[in-house]
Amino acid sequence: MNKPLRIALTKGRLEKDTVGLLEKIGYDCTAIREKGRKLILPVPDGNLEVVLAKANDVITYVEHGVCDMGVVGKDTIQEMQGKFYELVDLGFGRCRFALATKKGQSFYGGYNVKTLATKYPNITRKHFESKGMDVDIIKIEGSVELAPLLELADGIVDIVETGTTLKENGLEIIEDNICPISARLIVNTVSMKMRQSEIENFVTLVEKNL
């Protein structure tokens, strides 16, 4: 038997959803369910090895070839813009990017350059360039909702699921669905050449069980 295909999973909700998919395919994921603090785990009946990592690191590991495949959100893919194949929209982990401002505050209109706070400067810049708008972007690592409240920015671009956090902080969505997000299966470019049949077989099983 060949060495296991190594697949990096984004820790948290995407990890749980991916494990559910692997179990639906028929794989025994007991080692992942009972992982404790382990970060590299076997799925022997699938000839897979699972690596648990943060989203940005999933892309790094796949791009550099230490993992053959990865499961990561489209948001991270668009923000990091690495070199790999994006093969399957897995359909789970759905959310969206939205533009929000303080309630009652206008954003579009006027000639002043607007300032936006976001964890995703590349996605934000690309969106507003497509509108022909010049914006100043401030990268925030923590709670972006603070930026308009502290008058650091005119608005924020962030991932939204329910919008509850925005409402509770006096913000409102003024542009929804800037970019729909879901989990994607990505593959290292060299692995796709060297282990094509194994990867294609795995992808077929995934697609049949979505």
Residue 180: band (very low, low, confident or very high) from pLDDT cuts 50, 70, 90: confident
% of the chain at pLDDT higher than 70: 100
- Residue 115 sits at the vertex; the CA angle it makes with 110 and 119, to the nearest 5 degrees, is 145
Q: Given its phi and psi angles, is residue 44 left (phi above 0), alpha (psi -120 to 50 degrees) or beta?
A: alpha
Q: Summarize pLDDT for 127-156 with one digit per residue, the tens.
A: 999 999 999 999 999 999 999 999 999 999
pLDDT for position 106: 84
pLDDT for position 109: 80
Amino acid identity, residue 26?
Answer: G
Whether the per-residue pLDDT at 1 is higher than 80: the answer is no
**Which residues, 6+ apart, have CB-to-CB distance to 136 below 8 Å?**
113, 114, 115, 116
pLDDT for position 210: 94
pTM: 0.90
The answer to whether the beta carbons of residues 97 and 155 sit under 8 Å apart is no
Domains present along the chain, CATH in parentheses: 5-93+182-208 (3.40.190.10), 95-180 (3.40.190.10)
Residue keyed to tokens 């970019």: 179
Alpha helices in 43-188 (DSSP H): 55-63, 74-80, 121-130, 146-149, 164-168
Q: Summarize pLDDT for 24-34 with one digit per residue, the tens.
A: 999 999 999 99
